Amino acid sequence: MPCSTMGFQRLYKVFFPLTLVLVVLYITSVRLPEVHLSECVEDGKPCAEDLAENEVSLTEEKAVARGGDPHQAESEVYIKHCDGKDFQVRRLLAAFRHCVTPEGQVLLKDYLEGWKELIKFMDALGTVFGFISQETITKINIMQSYRTGKHSDEYHTLESMVKYELQDNVVNFKELPSNRTPSGCRTLLRLHRALKWLELFLYKLATSTDQDSTSDMCADAYEEALARHHSWFIRQAASIAFLALPPRRTLFDIVCVQEEQEAQMVLMTTVKALVRVYNITQEVYTAHGMLDLP
Ligand SMILES: CCCCCCCCCCCCC/C=C/[C@@H](O)[C@H](COP(=O)(O)O)NC(=O)CCCCCCCCCCCCCCC
């Protein structure tokens, strides 16, 4: 092999990964432009703060009254308000529970509230997760603009959105030109896939010990649920961000739990709520052949 080709290959092997790492570190450490979550507006007025602290019904009695499992109710006494923290696991849980109606439909407003709470969690982890948090905000904002836009009535539930977008040919079954706003169905599908990642990650966290690495759990869940949907570049950036995940005790602090048993109950209760929403959404997307929207 000619000497110059060997030299080039060696240079390529060393400098390409190095440059990639530096680019990713740069992207994740510079202050990303502020993207604000859209204000919730209904009929031209701000929405009522429907998930206010005092409305979050997580007491034992209420859970039982809702026909819930008494063992689940027992676990809920652990889910308390966490003073001085932005992220509140009880708000997260309330949102993902309230979003499922008694008829088994998914209310988009509450679903997105759940996602907004998750952004607070990511923000508590620091700037390395900035690009993931910005991406989530972008997706939420697209959904909010539909939910509060001209056809807001059609975006009340997942089911009404799917019906409307399919009837109106808004769903893009083929790749869209980059200047077209993606459909609600396509946008929600991205969040839906990420919800599977979250479910797997929280399950792993709940069933792990202090000796287990959160980065490994995160990467495993990512491999299972999301990696195949992402480009090579995003996969590399994500795998670098995972290395910056703090140990499980720090994550427990953000969730506001100390004891192992307490952590397990809170995490498993959250997993259950996520599974319920995930399964309904998955059924709707499967029924309409929309699991692979580009
Ligand atoms: C504990 C925090 C660790 C966060 C790890 C999250 C794993 C997911 C990595 C995703 C990389 C996202 C970068 C961008 C991806 C986009 O290419 C991709 C495709 O979009 P496109 O089709 O429009 O191009 N977008 C998406 O897949 C949407 C991703 C949304 C990511 C949401 C991540 C949620 C993380 C929530 C963590 C909270 C933990 C809470 C514990 C109680």
pLDDT in tens, 111-128: 999 999 999 999 999 888
Which residue's alpha carbon is at the smallest distance from atom 20 of ligand 1? Answer: 190
Calculate how far, in angstroms, residue 235's C-alpha sits from the geometric centre of ligand 1: 11
What pLDDT, on a 0 to 100 scale, did the predictor assign at position 50?
39
The whole model's pTM is what?
0.81
Condensed to tens digits (0 to 9), the pLDDT of residues 141-195 reads 999 999 999 999 999 999 999 999 999 988 888 887 778 889 999 999 999 999 9
DSSP 151-200: TGGGGSBHHHHHHHHHHTT-S-SSPPPTTSPPPHHHHHHHHHHHHHHHHH
Q: Are strands 45-46 and 41-42 parallel, antiparallel or unpaired?
A: antiparallel
Condensed to tens digits (0 to 9), the pLDDT of residues 39-59 reads 443 443 334 333 333 333 344
Which residue's alpha carbon is at the smallest distance from atom 36 of ligand 1? Answer: 118
What pLDDT, on a 0 to 100 scale, did the predictor assign at position 75?
55
Pocket of ligand 1 (CB under 6 A): 118, 121-122, 125, 129, 132, 135-136, 139, 190, 194, 197-198, 202, 218, 222, 226, 230, 234, 238, 255
Atom of ligand 1 nearest to the CA of 182: 23
| Helix, strand, coil % over all residues of the chain, rounded to 5 | 65, 5, 30
Task: Determine contact, residues 264/208, Cβ cutoff 8 Å.
Answer: no
